[in-house]
Amino acid sequence: MKFRIYNTDNAPEGSKTLLENAEKNFGFIPNLLGEFAEAPAVLEGYLTLSNIVGKTSFTPAEQQLAILAASIENECDYCSAIHSVILKNNLNVDEGIVNAVRYGDSLPDEKLDALVNYTQTVVRKRGHVNQEDLSTFLDAGYSVKQVLEVNLIVTLKTLSNYTNHIAETPLDEAFQSEQISFENV
């Protein structure tokens, strides 16, 4: 089955304005959002969650590193590429840090390393983290509030990562420089 990628001309009525706003923000409509448009509530929910993640106590770089970490753990090539581009090009995060997340290496910054590892542990264990997992995250300088905020980020990425797996979302040209493959994992 092939999923349809909608645009502002052919999207269901409940998705048109959302896609118009996305096009203004991105300069184009990412394929994932075009797919979400099939179900206006899903598109709205994803965009709303994305905005709420931006309100967490994490810095924009920390937000994106956690998003990338969840996408890598979920083996989502589409989201891994997008968030790598955002980190490198929009947030000017060092390429070595981004690549460490992408390829499972330790990050040179212990606090960021704890964030990435904790996020991936939450995904891997489906939320069944243990006291040691929590202590390592908290001891790195994060808070209980941020434990909950990681759950929000994981929720956001579960929606997009799983959709990309099911729909086999084609990677937009704007993100192809950071394409990654999980086929041999």
When pLDDT is averaged across residues 165-171 and rounded to a whole number, the result is 96
- Is the domain spanning 60-165 CATH 1.20.1290.10? The answer is yes
Distance CA 107, CA 130 (A): 22
pLDDT computed for residue 181 by the predictor: 80
How do residues 115-147 score in pLDDT, each as one tens digit?
999 999 999 999 999 999 999 999 999 999 999
pLDDT computed for residue 1 by the predictor: 80
Q: Which amino acid is at 55?
A: K
> 67, 54 in Cβ contact below 8 A?
no
Residue 54 or residue 180, greater confidence: 54
pLDDT at 184 over 70: no
CATH 1.20.1290.10 placement within the chain: 60-165
How do residues 41-76 score in pLDDT, each as one tens digit?
999 999 999 999 999 999 999 999 999 999 999 999
pLDDT computed for residue 159 by the predictor: 98
DSSP 109: S
pLDDT at 185 over 50: no
Tell me what percent of the residues of the chain surpass a pLDDT of 90: 93
Helix axes 60-73, 95-103, angle to 10 degrees: 30
> What's the pTM?
0.95
Cα–Cα nearest to 82, from 71, 93, 94, 74: 71
pLDDT computed for residue 98 by the predictor: 97
When pLDDT is averaged across residues 160-176 and rounded to a whole number, the result is 95
Q: What angle do CA 60, 39, 50 make, to 5 degrees?
A: 10
Q: What is the average pLDDT score of the chain? A: 96
pLDDT computed for residue 179 by the predictor: 87
Question: What b/e sequence results for 98-130 when a residue is b if at least 16 CB atoms lie within 10 Å of its CB, and e otherwise?
Answer: bebbbeeeebeeeebbbbbbbbbbbbeeeeebe
Model confidence at 168, in pLDDT bands (50, 70, 90)? very high
Three-state DSSP state, 18: helix
Residues contacting residue 115 through CB under 8 Å, at least 6 positions apart: 58, 62, 65, 66, 69, 137, 140, 142, 150
Helices (H), the chain: 13-26, 31-36, 40-53, 60-73, 77-85, 95-103, 110-124, 131-139, 144-167
Model confidence at 182, in pLDDT bands (50, 70, 90)? confident
Model confidence at 21, in pLDDT bands (50, 70, 90)? very high
